[in-house]
Amino acid sequence: MASLELNALTEKLENDEIRQIHQGLEDVGAPDLDEPEQLETVVVSGTLDEDMFADFLDQLDANDVAADVYLPVEFDQVYEVEAGYRIGSAHALLAALESLREDLDIDIEDEGDFEEDGDYDDDEEEDEVMARFADDEVDATVLKDEQMRTIWRAYFQAASGAIRDNLAIFVTT
């Protein structure tokens, strides 16, 4: 299963990989990273369907924001480091998600999916989706749309949390 994880770079990467990321930030004219105050790992979602996740990554790629690691600083382009990671900005990710929100017909304000602190309850969403389709024959297109919305919400939660808590987002498939 695919997952999104918020963590400090120092908890997930080697020193030389971190140096490559910092050099890349300098090369794209982005501000340097501050060390996060919180060093606790937060898994935003660990149960994302890999096929649907791949479809969603294609949409991010079409918006030029697909990356393996998102940093909580603003810059426009995704860059690759020698270690093989594509590095993107959580701010640029949020902008792309806003565009995709309209395509996926997601209305945050009306759905009540987000709590006061900006956290999203992924388990609650999954339960709602399953309950909605439990009694009916499921149209594959409708189910795919619901799954894409769930992945969008996980990304939105991760990007918001990364910026708020000054953490990186690690995307694993």
* Residues 126, 148: Cα–Cα separation, whole Å: 12
Q: Could you tell me how far CA 77 lies from the centroid of its own chain?
A: 16
Q: Are strands 79-80 and 86-89 parallel, antiparallel or unpaired?
A: antiparallel
What mean pLDDT is predicted for residues 64-84?
A: 95
Q: Each residue of 144-170: b (16+ CB within 10 Å) or e?
A: eebbbbbbbbbbbbbbbbbbeebbbbb
Mean pLDDT of the chain: 83
Task: Say if residues 83 and 34 touch (Cβ distance below 8 Å).
Answer: no
Alpha helices by DSSP H, the chain: 9-12, 15-27, 50-62, 90-103, 108-111, 122-134, 140-165
Q: How confident is the model at residue 113 (pLDDT cuts 50, 70, 90)?
A: very low
Q: What is the pLDDT of residue 7?
A: 93
What mean pLDDT is predicted for residues 156-162?
A: 94
Statement: residue 3 has pLDDT above 60 = yes
Domain count, the chain: 1
- If one compares 44 and 98, the residue with the highest pLDDT of the two is 98
The pLDDT tens digits of the residues spanning 5-28 come to 999 999 999 999 999 999 999 999
Statement: residue 171 has pLDDT above 80 = yes
Structural domain including 22 reads 2-172
Statement: residue 134 has pLDDT above 90 = no
Q: How confident is the model at residue 38 (pLDDT cuts 50, 70, 90)?
A: low
Q: How confident is the model at residue 127 (pLDDT cuts 50, 70, 90)?
A: low
Q: What are phi and psi of 87, to 5 degrees?
A: -110, 130
